[in-house]
Structure 1
Amino acid sequence: MRLRRAARVILVGAPGVGKGTQSERLLSRFPQLSAISSGDLLRHNVKNRTPLGINVEKTMRTGGLVPDETILRLITNEISQRGWLSGGRPSFMTLASAVSGDAVSAIDAAIDSSIPGIDTNPNAGASLSRQASEDPSASFLLDGFPRTAVQAERLDDIVPINWAVSLQTPFEVIMERISSRWVHEPSGRVYNTTFNAPRVPRRDDITGEPLVQRADDSEEVYRTRFQKFRETSEPLLEHYAKKGVLWEVHGHSSDEISPQLFQEFERQFL
Protein backbone atom coordinates (compact mmCIF):
# COMPACT_ATOMS: atom_id res chain seq x y z
CA MET A 1 0.00 0.00 0.00
CA ARG A 2 1.66 3.20 -1.18
CA LEU A 3 0.77 6.43 0.55
CA ARG A 4 -0.31 9.34 -1.60
CA ARG A 5 1.30 11.97 0.64
CA ALA A 6 3.57 12.24 3.65
CA ALA A 7 1.96 11.20 6.92
CA ARG A 8 3.26 13.08 9.96
CA VAL A 9 1.47 11.47 12.87
CA ILE A 10 1.28 11.68 16.65
CA LEU A 11 -0.84 9.61 19.03
CA VAL A 12 -2.18 11.22 22.20
CA GLY A 13 -3.61 9.13 25.01
CA ALA A 14 -3.75 8.76 28.77
CA PRO A 15 -1.25 6.48 30.52
CA GLY A 16 -2.37 2.88 30.04
CA VAL A 17 -4.61 3.59 27.05
CA GLY A 18 -2.48 1.41 24.75
CA LYS A 19 -0.61 4.07 22.80
CA GLY A 20 2.45 1.84 22.47
CA THR A 21 0.36 -1.04 21.13
CA GLN A 22 -1.33 1.15 18.53
CA SER A 23 2.01 2.63 17.46
CA GLU A 24 3.48 -0.83 16.90
CA ARG A 25 0.43 -1.93 14.92
CA LEU A 26 0.45 1.16 12.71
CA LEU A 27 4.16 0.75 11.96
CA SER A 28 3.68 -2.92 11.17
CA ARG A 29 0.67 -2.40 8.90
CA PHE A 30 2.07 0.62 7.03
CA PRO A 31 5.81 0.00 6.35
CA GLN A 32 6.26 3.46 4.82
CA LEU A 33 5.83 4.93 8.31
CA SER A 34 9.06 5.39 10.24
CA ALA A 35 9.24 5.68 14.02
CA ILE A 36 10.91 8.76 15.48
CA SER A 37 11.15 8.73 19.27
CA SER A 38 12.54 11.74 21.08
CA GLY A 39 13.49 9.45 23.98
CA ASP A 40 15.38 7.07 21.69
CA LEU A 41 17.21 9.97 20.06
CA LEU A 42 18.29 11.28 23.45
CA ARG A 43 19.42 7.84 24.64
CA HIS A 44 21.34 7.30 21.39
CA ASN A 45 23.21 10.56 21.91
CA VAL A 46 24.01 9.71 25.53
CA LYS A 47 25.21 6.22 24.61
CA ASN A 48 27.42 7.51 21.82
CA ARG A 49 28.86 10.32 23.95
CA THR A 50 27.96 13.08 21.51
CA PRO A 51 28.28 16.64 22.82
CA LEU A 52 24.50 16.87 23.07
CA GLY A 53 24.36 13.54 24.88
CA ILE A 54 27.01 14.62 27.37
CA ASN A 55 25.11 17.86 27.91
CA VAL A 56 21.78 16.17 28.76
CA GLU A 57 23.05 13.01 30.49
CA LYS A 58 22.93 14.39 34.02
CA THR A 59 19.47 15.89 33.47
CA MET A 60 18.13 12.55 32.24
CA ARG A 61 19.83 10.56 35.00
CA THR A 62 18.25 12.72 37.72
CA GLY A 63 14.81 12.62 36.13
CA GLY A 64 14.85 16.26 35.02
CA LEU A 65 13.23 17.64 31.88
CA VAL A 66 15.38 18.18 28.81
CA PRO A 67 14.69 21.69 27.43
CA ASP A 68 12.22 21.93 24.55
CA GLU A 69 14.83 23.68 22.42
CA THR A 70 17.14 20.67 22.68
CA ILE A 71 14.39 18.21 21.74
CA LEU A 72 13.30 20.38 18.81
CA ARG A 73 16.85 20.62 17.50
CA LEU A 74 17.29 16.89 17.90
CA ILE A 75 14.10 16.06 16.00
CA THR A 76 14.88 18.60 13.29
CA ASN A 77 18.37 17.21 12.85
CA GLU A 78 17.00 13.65 12.59
CA ILE A 79 14.41 14.63 9.98
CA SER A 80 17.00 16.62 8.06
CA GLN A 81 19.51 13.74 8.16
CA ARG A 82 16.86 11.54 6.57
CA GLY A 83 16.51 14.05 3.72
CA TRP A 84 12.96 15.06 4.62
CA LEU A 85 13.61 18.81 4.56
CA SER A 86 14.46 20.68 1.38
CA GLY A 87 18.00 21.91 1.01
CA GLY A 88 19.67 18.51 0.84
CA ARG A 89 21.05 16.05 3.32
CA PRO A 90 23.51 17.72 5.71
CA SER A 91 26.87 16.23 6.47
CA PHE A 92 27.00 14.09 9.60
CA MET A 93 27.76 16.24 12.61
CA THR A 94 30.90 15.35 14.55
CA LEU A 95 32.18 17.49 17.42
CA ALA A 96 34.93 17.03 19.98
CA SER A 97 33.88 14.49 22.57
CA ALA A 98 34.82 16.75 25.47
CA VAL A 99 32.53 19.62 26.39
CA SER A 100 33.68 22.66 28.28
CA GLY A 101 33.28 26.42 28.45
CA ASP A 102 30.45 27.59 26.20
CA ALA A 103 29.36 23.99 25.63
CA VAL A 104 25.67 24.57 25.17
CA SER A 105 26.19 27.45 22.74
CA ALA A 106 28.68 25.40 20.76
CA ILE A 107 26.32 22.44 20.57
CA ASP A 108 23.38 24.61 19.54
CA ALA A 109 25.42 26.38 16.90
CA ALA A 110 26.72 23.10 15.49
CA ILE A 111 23.26 21.56 15.30
CA ASP A 112 21.77 24.71 13.80
CA SER A 113 24.49 24.95 11.17
CA SER A 114 23.86 21.35 10.12
CA ILE A 115 20.14 21.90 9.52
CA PRO A 116 19.23 23.57 6.22
CA GLY A 117 16.93 26.54 6.64
CA ILE A 118 17.55 27.39 10.27
CA ASP A 119 18.29 31.04 10.90
CA THR A 120 21.13 31.16 13.44
CA ASN A 121 20.14 34.66 14.49
CA PRO A 122 19.19 34.16 18.15
CA ASN A 123 16.31 36.61 17.74
CA ALA A 124 14.78 34.66 14.87
CA GLY A 125 12.74 31.51 15.24
CA ALA A 126 13.16 28.43 13.10
CA SER A 127 10.97 28.52 10.02
CA LEU A 128 11.07 25.19 8.25
CA SER A 129 7.43 24.20 7.78
CA ARG A 130 7.39 25.27 4.12
CA GLN A 131 10.39 22.99 3.54
CA ALA A 132 8.90 19.81 4.97
CA SER A 133 8.79 17.12 2.30
CA GLU A 134 5.39 15.87 1.15
CA ASP A 135 6.94 12.78 -0.43
CA PRO A 136 5.28 9.62 0.99
CA SER A 137 8.71 8.31 1.94
CA ALA A 138 8.94 11.17 4.48
CA SER A 139 6.21 9.65 6.64
CA PHE A 140 6.75 9.19 10.35
CA LEU A 141 5.10 8.49 13.67
CA LEU A 142 6.53 10.85 16.28
CA ASP A 143 6.65 9.56 19.85
CA GLY A 144 7.33 11.49 23.05
CA PHE A 145 6.96 14.99 21.62
CA PRO A 146 4.99 17.24 21.61
CA ARG A 147 3.24 16.81 24.96
CA THR A 148 1.99 20.38 25.39
CA ALA A 149 0.37 23.03 23.20
CA VAL A 150 3.47 25.22 23.45
CA GLN A 151 5.65 22.36 22.20
CA ALA A 152 3.17 21.72 19.37
CA GLU A 153 3.34 25.35 18.27
CA ARG A 154 7.12 25.19 18.18
CA LEU A 155 7.05 21.93 16.23
CA ASP A 156 4.70 23.53 13.67
CA ASP A 157 7.50 25.95 12.79
CA ILE A 158 9.76 23.03 11.91
CA VAL A 159 7.63 20.24 10.49
CA PRO A 160 3.84 20.42 10.88
CA ILE A 161 1.97 17.35 12.13
CA ASN A 162 -0.85 16.56 9.72
CA TRP A 163 -2.69 13.87 11.74
CA ALA A 164 -3.09 13.94 15.52
CA VAL A 165 -4.96 10.96 16.95
CA SER A 166 -6.66 11.14 20.34
CA LEU A 167 -7.09 7.64 21.80
CA GLN A 168 -10.11 7.59 24.12
CA THR A 169 -10.84 4.78 26.58
CA PRO A 170 -13.03 5.23 29.69
CA PHE A 171 -11.10 5.94 32.89
CA GLU A 172 -12.67 2.95 34.67
CA VAL A 173 -11.55 0.58 31.91
CA ILE A 174 -7.95 1.83 32.03
CA MET A 175 -7.94 1.66 35.83
CA GLU A 176 -9.14 -1.94 35.77
CA ARG A 177 -6.48 -2.79 33.18
CA ILE A 178 -3.71 -1.22 35.25
CA SER A 179 -4.79 -2.77 38.55
CA SER A 180 -4.69 -6.19 36.86
CA ARG A 181 -1.11 -5.71 35.61
CA TRP A 182 1.74 -7.80 37.04
CA VAL A 183 5.40 -7.48 36.09
CA HIS A 184 8.50 -9.68 36.16
CA GLU A 185 10.96 -6.98 37.19
CA PRO A 186 14.26 -8.61 36.05
CA SER A 187 13.05 -9.06 32.45
CA GLY A 188 10.30 -6.44 32.17
CA ARG A 189 7.75 -9.03 31.02
CA VAL A 190 4.22 -7.77 31.65
CA TYR A 191 1.14 -9.88 32.38
CA ASN A 192 -2.49 -8.94 32.86
CA THR A 193 -4.91 -11.16 34.74
CA THR A 194 -7.79 -10.16 32.44
CA PHE A 195 -6.31 -10.92 29.01
CA ASN A 196 -2.68 -12.11 29.32
CA ALA A 197 -2.57 -14.03 32.59
CA PRO A 198 0.55 -15.98 33.65
CA ARG A 199 0.18 -19.76 33.51
CA VAL A 200 0.74 -19.91 37.26
CA PRO A 201 -0.85 -17.03 39.20
CA ARG A 202 1.71 -14.36 40.18
CA ARG A 203 4.61 -16.36 38.69
CA ASP A 204 6.67 -15.59 35.59
CA ASP A 205 6.06 -18.08 32.74
CA ILE A 206 9.77 -18.35 31.88
CA THR A 207 11.59 -18.35 35.21
CA GLY A 208 8.84 -19.14 37.72
CA GLU A 209 9.97 -16.16 39.76
CA PRO A 210 7.44 -13.98 41.61
CA LEU A 211 5.62 -11.21 39.78
CA VAL A 212 5.06 -7.81 41.37
CA GLN A 213 2.75 -4.86 40.90
CA ARG A 214 4.44 -1.53 40.26
CA ALA A 215 4.01 1.14 42.89
CA ASP A 216 2.72 3.59 40.27
CA ASP A 217 -0.01 1.15 39.24
CA SER A 218 -2.03 2.00 42.35
CA GLU A 219 -5.32 3.83 41.87
CA GLU A 220 -4.17 6.86 43.85
CA VAL A 221 -0.99 7.29 41.81
CA TYR A 222 -2.79 6.68 38.53
CA ARG A 223 -5.50 9.25 39.30
CA THR A 224 -2.77 11.85 39.84
CA ARG A 225 -1.05 10.90 36.56
CA PHE A 226 -4.39 10.91 34.72
CA GLN A 227 -5.29 14.37 36.02
CA LYS A 228 -1.90 15.73 35.03
CA PHE A 229 -2.32 14.22 31.56
CA ARG A 230 -5.71 15.87 31.14
CA GLU A 231 -4.35 19.27 32.16
CA THR A 232 -1.63 19.17 29.51
CA SER A 233 -3.43 17.22 26.79
CA GLU A 234 -6.59 19.32 26.54
CA PRO A 235 -4.78 22.45 25.24
CA LEU A 236 -2.65 20.18 23.00
CA LEU A 237 -5.71 18.54 21.44
CA GLU A 238 -7.41 21.92 21.09
CA HIS A 239 -4.36 23.17 19.19
CA TYR A 240 -4.64 20.36 16.65
CA ALA A 241 -8.43 20.65 16.49
CA LYS A 242 -8.07 24.29 15.43
CA LYS A 243 -5.64 23.21 12.73
CA GLY A 244 -8.19 20.67 11.47
CA VAL A 245 -5.93 17.63 11.89
CA LEU A 246 -7.36 16.10 15.09
CA TRP A 247 -9.21 12.76 14.96
CA GLU A 248 -10.69 10.97 17.99
CA VAL A 249 -11.14 7.22 18.28
CA HIS A 250 -13.06 5.50 21.07
CA GLY A 251 -12.82 1.92 22.32
CA HIS A 252 -12.60 -0.26 25.39
CA SER A 253 -9.63 -2.26 24.13
CA SER A 254 -6.75 -2.05 21.67
CA ASP A 255 -8.50 -4.60 19.45
CA GLU A 256 -11.54 -2.31 19.24
CA ILE A 257 -9.46 0.74 18.41
CA SER A 258 -7.02 -0.71 15.85
CA PRO A 259 -9.50 -1.39 13.01
CA GLN A 260 -10.89 2.13 13.29
CA LEU A 261 -7.37 3.56 13.34
CA PHE A 262 -6.32 1.61 10.24
CA GLN A 263 -9.46 2.59 8.32
CA GLU A 264 -9.06 6.28 9.05
CA PHE A 265 -5.32 6.24 8.27
CA GLU A 266 -6.07 4.70 4.88
CA ARG A 267 -8.78 7.31 4.25
CA GLN A 268 -6.37 10.11 5.12
CA PHE A 269 -3.23 8.94 3.32
CA LEU A 270 -3.86 6.11 0.82
Structure 2
Amino acid sequence: MPILLWKRKQDYYYKDLLQHASSFGRSTSRGVKEKAKHLALERYMKRYLDGHAHSEPAKKSECTSMPDGDKKFARSRRPLDVPVHLEHSKKSESTPTPDGDHPRRHHDVQADGDQEFVYPWKGIVANIQTEWKEGKKVAESGSKLRDEFLRKGFNPLKVFPLWGYRGHPGFAIVEFKNDWAGFNNAMSFEKSFEVEHCGKRDYYGHENPGNKLYGWVARSDDYNSRGFIGDHLKKNANLKTISAKEAEDWRKASKLELNKYPHEQEFAS
Protein backbone atom coordinates (compact mmCIF):
# COMPACT_ATOMS: atom_id res chain seq x y z
CA MET A 1 0.00 0.00 0.00
CA PRO A 2 1.58 3.33 -1.01
CA ILE A 3 2.20 5.30 2.17
CA LEU A 4 1.46 8.59 0.43
CA LEU A 5 -2.15 7.52 -0.07
CA TRP A 6 -2.83 7.03 3.60
CA LYS A 7 -0.76 9.60 5.45
CA ARG A 8 -3.26 11.01 7.86
CA LYS A 9 -1.94 14.51 7.40
CA GLN A 10 -2.85 14.38 3.72
CA ASP A 11 -6.17 16.14 3.39
CA TYR A 12 -7.49 14.42 0.27
CA TYR A 13 -11.18 14.82 -0.41
CA TYR A 14 -13.01 12.35 -2.58
CA LYS A 15 -12.52 14.13 -5.92
CA ASP A 16 -8.89 14.96 -5.15
CA LEU A 17 -8.08 11.38 -4.21
CA LEU A 18 -9.91 10.02 -7.24
CA GLN A 19 -8.02 12.38 -9.54
CA HIS A 20 -4.74 11.45 -7.86
CA ALA A 21 -5.40 7.71 -8.27
CA SER A 22 -6.41 8.15 -11.90
CA SER A 23 -3.41 10.31 -12.83
CA PHE A 24 -0.91 8.14 -10.96
CA GLY A 25 -2.37 4.94 -12.40
CA ARG A 26 -2.01 6.21 -15.95
CA SER A 27 1.40 7.80 -15.56
CA THR A 28 4.05 6.57 -17.99
CA SER A 29 6.85 7.19 -15.50
CA ARG A 30 5.54 4.92 -12.73
CA GLY A 31 6.19 1.25 -12.12
CA VAL A 32 3.67 -1.36 -13.18
CA LYS A 33 2.92 -2.50 -9.63
CA GLU A 34 2.37 1.04 -8.34
CA LYS A 35 0.16 1.85 -11.32
CA ALA A 36 -1.88 -1.30 -10.72
CA LYS A 37 -2.44 -0.35 -7.09
CA HIS A 38 -3.60 3.14 -8.01
CA LEU A 39 -5.89 1.85 -10.74
CA ALA A 40 -7.31 -0.61 -8.20
CA LEU A 41 -8.00 2.29 -5.85
CA GLU A 42 -9.70 4.22 -8.66
CA ARG A 43 -11.93 1.25 -9.52
CA TYR A 44 -12.75 0.68 -5.86
CA MET A 45 -13.73 4.32 -5.28
CA LYS A 46 -15.91 4.47 -8.38
CA ARG A 47 -17.60 1.20 -7.54
CA TYR A 48 -18.09 1.46 -3.79
CA LEU A 49 -17.61 5.06 -2.66
CA ASP A 50 -19.04 7.21 -5.46
CA GLY A 51 -22.64 6.84 -4.33
CA HIS A 52 -21.66 7.39 -0.70
CA ALA A 53 -19.61 10.48 -1.46
CA HIS A 54 -22.38 12.17 -3.43
CA SER A 55 -25.45 10.80 -1.72
CA GLU A 56 -27.90 13.21 -0.19
CA PRO A 57 -28.61 12.92 3.52
CA ALA A 58 -31.86 11.31 4.55
CA LYS A 59 -34.84 13.57 4.89
CA LYS A 60 -35.08 15.45 8.14
CA SER A 61 -37.22 13.48 10.53
CA GLU A 62 -38.93 14.46 13.69
CA CYS A 63 -38.36 13.10 17.16
CA THR A 64 -40.59 10.19 17.91
CA SER A 65 -42.75 10.36 20.97
CA MET A 66 -44.76 7.47 22.26
CA PRO A 67 -47.44 8.67 24.69
CA ASP A 68 -49.47 5.75 26.03
CA GLY A 69 -47.67 3.35 23.69
CA ASP A 70 -48.85 5.13 20.54
CA LYS A 71 -46.06 6.51 18.33
CA LYS A 72 -46.53 10.09 17.19
CA PHE A 73 -44.24 12.85 16.03
CA ALA A 74 -43.58 16.11 17.82
CA ARG A 75 -41.41 18.86 16.35
CA SER A 76 -39.24 20.69 18.81
CA ARG A 77 -39.70 24.48 18.95
CA ARG A 78 -36.32 25.10 20.53
CA PRO A 79 -33.77 27.05 18.46
CA LEU A 80 -31.42 24.94 16.37
CA ASP A 81 -28.04 24.55 18.06
CA VAL A 82 -26.43 21.33 16.91
CA PRO A 83 -22.95 20.67 18.39
CA VAL A 84 -20.20 19.41 16.13
CA HIS A 85 -18.66 17.29 18.90
CA LEU A 86 -20.36 16.00 22.02
CA GLU A 87 -19.20 17.70 25.20
CA HIS A 88 -21.10 16.73 28.32
CA SER A 89 -21.92 19.57 30.67
CA LYS A 90 -20.86 19.31 34.30
CA LYS A 91 -24.46 18.65 35.12
CA SER A 92 -24.76 15.74 32.72
CA GLU A 93 -21.47 14.22 33.83
CA SER A 94 -22.81 13.67 37.32
CA THR A 95 -26.23 12.43 36.22
CA PRO A 96 -26.49 8.66 35.92
CA THR A 97 -28.60 7.22 33.15
CA PRO A 98 -31.30 4.63 33.88
CA ASP A 99 -30.08 1.31 35.27
CA GLY A 100 -26.45 2.32 35.65
CA ASP A 101 -25.26 3.61 32.26
CA HIS A 102 -23.22 6.70 33.10
CA PRO A 103 -22.16 9.26 30.46
CA ARG A 104 -18.47 8.88 31.29
CA ARG A 105 -16.10 11.19 29.47
CA HIS A 106 -14.06 8.70 27.50
CA HIS A 107 -12.33 10.40 24.60
CA ASP A 108 -13.66 9.01 21.33
CA VAL A 109 -11.23 11.08 19.27
CA GLN A 110 -7.65 9.92 18.70
CA ALA A 111 -4.69 12.30 18.93
CA ASP A 112 -4.85 12.80 15.17
CA GLY A 113 -8.55 13.66 15.26
CA ASP A 114 -9.82 10.27 14.09
CA GLN A 115 -12.97 9.22 15.96
CA GLU A 116 -13.47 5.75 17.33
CA PHE A 117 -16.82 4.26 16.37
CA VAL A 118 -18.40 1.03 17.50
CA TYR A 119 -18.03 -1.43 14.63
CA PRO A 120 -20.08 -2.94 13.08
CA TRP A 121 -21.87 0.42 13.03
CA LYS A 122 -24.53 0.66 15.71
CA GLY A 123 -26.99 3.27 16.88
CA ILE A 124 -28.44 3.76 20.34
CA VAL A 125 -32.07 4.61 21.04
CA ALA A 126 -32.82 6.00 24.49
CA ASN A 127 -35.91 6.92 26.49
CA ILE A 128 -38.12 4.17 25.09
CA GLN A 129 -41.36 4.33 27.05
CA THR A 130 -41.93 1.34 29.32
CA GLU A 131 -44.63 0.12 31.66
CA TRP A 132 -44.76 -2.37 34.50
CA LYS A 133 -46.30 -5.72 33.69
CA GLU A 134 -46.14 -8.76 35.94
CA GLY A 135 -43.29 -7.29 37.95
CA LYS A 136 -41.09 -6.27 35.00
CA LYS A 137 -40.76 -3.30 32.68
CA VAL A 138 -41.94 -3.98 29.14
CA ALA A 139 -42.07 -1.94 25.94
CA GLU A 140 -43.03 -2.27 22.31
CA SER A 141 -41.02 -4.73 20.23
CA GLY A 142 -37.81 -3.82 18.47
CA SER A 143 -39.38 -4.69 15.12
CA LYS A 144 -41.74 -1.71 15.43
CA LEU A 145 -38.81 0.64 15.93
CA ARG A 146 -36.97 -1.00 13.04
CA ASP A 147 -39.98 -0.48 10.77
CA GLU A 148 -40.19 3.15 11.87
CA PHE A 149 -36.53 3.75 10.99
CA LEU A 150 -36.96 1.91 7.70
CA ARG A 151 -39.76 4.31 6.76
CA LYS A 152 -37.43 7.20 7.49
CA GLY A 153 -34.80 5.80 5.14
CA PHE A 154 -32.14 4.71 7.66
CA ASN A 155 -32.23 1.05 6.57
CA PRO A 156 -31.40 -0.65 9.88
CA LEU A 157 -30.87 -4.39 9.90
CA LYS A 158 -32.24 -5.02 13.38
CA VAL A 159 -33.21 -3.25 16.57
CA PHE A 160 -32.28 -5.05 19.80
CA PRO A 161 -34.13 -3.90 22.96
CA LEU A 162 -31.82 -4.26 25.96
CA TRP A 163 -32.99 -6.28 28.93
CA GLY A 164 -32.04 -6.47 32.58
CA TYR A 165 -33.25 -8.10 35.75
CA ARG A 166 -36.04 -5.52 35.97
CA GLY A 167 -36.98 -5.94 32.34
CA HIS A 168 -36.65 -3.29 29.63
CA PRO A 169 -34.34 -0.40 30.72
CA GLY A 170 -35.57 1.95 27.99
CA PHE A 171 -32.63 1.47 25.60
CA ALA A 172 -32.23 -0.35 22.30
CA ILE A 173 -29.33 -0.97 19.94
CA VAL A 174 -29.80 -0.36 16.22
CA GLU A 175 -27.66 -2.46 13.90
CA PHE A 176 -26.61 -1.15 10.48
CA LYS A 177 -24.74 -2.80 7.63
CA ASN A 178 -20.99 -2.87 8.21
CA ASP A 179 -20.17 -1.16 4.90
CA TRP A 180 -20.01 2.54 3.96
CA ALA A 181 -23.69 2.62 3.02
CA GLY A 182 -24.43 1.42 6.55
CA PHE A 183 -22.19 4.12 8.01
CA ASN A 184 -23.97 6.76 5.94
CA ASN A 185 -27.34 5.48 7.18
CA ALA A 186 -26.10 5.48 10.77
CA MET A 187 -24.88 9.08 10.55
CA SER A 188 -28.18 10.16 8.94
CA PHE A 189 -29.97 8.39 11.80
CA GLU A 190 -27.93 10.38 14.32
CA LYS A 191 -28.35 13.68 12.50
CA SER A 192 -32.13 13.29 12.37
CA PHE A 193 -32.19 13.23 16.17
CA GLU A 194 -29.65 16.03 16.58
CA VAL A 195 -31.51 18.54 14.42
CA GLU A 196 -34.58 18.03 16.60
CA HIS A 197 -32.56 18.37 19.83
CA CYS A 198 -33.01 14.70 20.59
CA GLY A 199 -29.36 13.70 20.33
CA LYS A 200 -26.92 12.32 22.86
CA ARG A 201 -26.04 15.59 24.58
CA ASP A 202 -29.70 16.53 24.75
CA TYR A 203 -30.61 13.25 26.40
CA TYR A 204 -27.92 13.41 29.06
CA GLY A 205 -28.57 17.12 29.61
CA HIS A 206 -32.23 16.67 30.55
CA GLU A 207 -33.38 15.77 34.03
CA ASN A 208 -36.77 15.01 32.50
CA PRO A 209 -36.46 13.98 28.83
CA GLY A 210 -40.23 13.65 28.44
CA ASN A 211 -41.64 10.96 26.18
CA LYS A 212 -39.53 11.58 23.08
CA LEU A 213 -37.06 9.11 21.69
CA TYR A 214 -33.39 10.11 21.63
CA GLY A 215 -30.77 8.58 19.40
CA TRP A 216 -27.12 8.68 18.34
CA VAL A 217 -24.35 6.59 16.80
CA ALA A 218 -22.40 4.46 19.26
CA ARG A 219 -18.82 5.58 19.90
CA SER A 220 -16.06 4.71 22.33
CA ASP A 221 -17.63 6.42 25.35
CA ASP A 222 -20.75 4.29 24.90
CA TYR A 223 -18.60 1.20 24.40
CA ASN A 224 -16.69 1.90 27.62
CA SER A 225 -19.73 2.89 29.68
CA ARG A 226 -20.91 0.86 32.66
CA GLY A 227 -24.26 -0.86 32.40
CA PHE A 228 -26.51 -2.38 29.77
CA ILE A 229 -25.23 -0.37 26.81
CA GLY A 230 -21.54 -0.91 27.44
CA ASP A 231 -22.02 -4.59 28.27
CA HIS A 232 -23.95 -5.26 25.06
CA LEU A 233 -21.49 -3.37 22.85
CA LYS A 234 -18.45 -5.09 24.32
CA LYS A 235 -20.01 -8.50 23.69
CA ASN A 236 -21.11 -7.78 20.13
CA ALA A 237 -18.71 -5.26 18.62
CA ASN A 238 -15.36 -3.52 18.88
CA LEU A 239 -13.94 -0.05 18.23
CA LYS A 240 -12.61 1.14 14.89
CA THR A 241 -11.54 4.49 13.46
CA ILE A 242 -12.62 5.69 10.04
CA SER A 243 -9.06 5.68 8.74
CA ALA A 244 -8.60 2.09 9.95
CA LYS A 245 -11.77 1.03 8.12
CA GLU A 246 -10.65 2.84 4.95
CA ALA A 247 -7.21 1.23 5.09
CA GLU A 248 -8.75 -2.19 5.68
CA ASP A 249 -11.07 -1.81 2.68
CA TRP A 250 -8.22 -0.53 0.56
CA ARG A 251 -6.07 -3.54 1.40
CA LYS A 252 -8.89 -5.92 0.52
CA ALA A 253 -9.73 -4.11 -2.73
CA SER A 254 -6.07 -3.83 -3.71
CA LYS A 255 -5.51 -7.53 -3.10
CA LEU A 256 -8.56 -8.47 -5.16
CA GLU A 257 -7.60 -6.20 -8.03
CA LEU A 258 -3.97 -7.32 -8.09
CA ASN A 259 -5.07 -10.95 -8.12
CA LYS A 260 -6.81 -10.20 -11.41
CA TYR A 261 -3.48 -9.29 -13.00
CA PRO A 262 -0.92 -11.91 -11.84
CA HIS A 263 1.20 -11.28 -14.92
CA GLU A 264 1.67 -7.65 -13.89
CA GLN A 265 2.87 -8.68 -10.44
CA GLU A 266 5.39 -11.09 -11.96
CA PHE A 267 6.58 -8.41 -14.32
CA ALA A 268 6.88 -5.85 -11.52
CA SER A 269 8.82 -8.24 -9.32
TM-score clears 0.5: no
Q: TM-score, normalised by structure 2?
A: 0.22
